[in-house]
Amino acid sequence: MKKIVLLCLFVLPLSFGCATMDSPSSVVIGGGNEIQGDRFGEELLARSLSKNLKMPEYQNYPVIVTTFVDLNDFEKSSVFGRLMAEKLLHQMNKQGFNVVEIRRAQDLLIKKEVGEMILTRDVEEIANITKARSVLAGTYVATTTALIINARLVDIQTPHIISSFSYEIAITEEIENLLSGEPPF
């Protein structure tokens, strides 16, 4: 396996990615700037989610993109997790998905006992407001050499995964800073 990953890192500047033999949907992205505009793999991720879509009609229904979270603690994210969500809003839209922004002022919720709320963890409430049919959820976990990123499109009404993709990017000082929140990014 090490030979395959090393081969991927050396061939990467020519091929923009490399599938490992273990899984055709697992890709290793190098740590350099060889993929300008896709340095965190967000374009690859959006393209792959579109390609792997089990039910193509979901591309036409509204989809919510959420912040990527730490695999070890779903209550924890980072600048990296928030940045991935922002970058994927654009890339999923570019791939033809009907992406909805859940943070816009029109979606402000006013509840008698609670007050004004723009953010909620109530998926059903968000789905009703946006008419979304799916949500893009993602996790990441750092190893000593790589950041493993997993993403899935999940049907809001059921627990069914309608598309998924997993890949790795090399750990760099920039990635470490994005994960720790320590500037400069």
Query: At the fourth CATH level, which superfamily is domain 2-180?
Result: ABC-type transport auxiliary lipoprotein component (3.40.50.10610)
Q: What is the 3-state secondary structure (H, E, C) of 29-51?
A: ECCCCCCCCCCCCHHHHHHHHHH
Instruction: Report the chain's C-alpha Rg in angstroms.
Output: 17
Please indicate, yes or no, whether the overall pTM of this predicted structure exceeds 0.85. Answer: no
pLDDT of residue 89: 94
Tell me how crowded residue 31 is: count the other CB atoms within 10 A of its CB: 18
pLDDT of residue 28: 59
pLDDT of residue 166: 97
- Closest to 102 (Cα-Cα) out of 87, 80, 85, 114: 85
Q: Under the phi-then-psi rule, with left for phi > 0, alpha for psi from -120 to 50, and beta for the rest, what region is 90?
A: alpha
* 21's tokens: 């033999």
pLDDT of residue 126: 67
Residue with tokens 């500047």: 13
With beta carbons less than 8 A apart as the criterion, state whether 88 and 136 touch: yes
Tell me how crowded residue 79 is: count the other CB atoms within 10 A of its CB: 15
Rounded to whole angstroms, how far apart are CA atoms 1 and 21? Answer: 8
pLDDT of residue 116: 45
pLDDT of residue 115: 54
Q: In a 3-state reduction of DSSP, which class is residue 164?
A: strand
One pLDDT digit (tens) per residue for the chain, 185 residues: 333 333 332 223 323 333 333 344 445 555 444 446 788 999 999 999 999 998 888 888 999 999 999 999 988 999 999 999 999 999 999 999 999 887 654 445 555 554 544 445 566 666 677 788 899 999 999 999 999 999 999 998 888 999 999 999 999 999 999 999 988 76
pLDDT of residue 56: 86
pLDDT of residue 45: 97
* 28's tokens: 């290793």
Rounded to whole angstroms, how far apart are CA atoms 150 and 84? Answer: 11
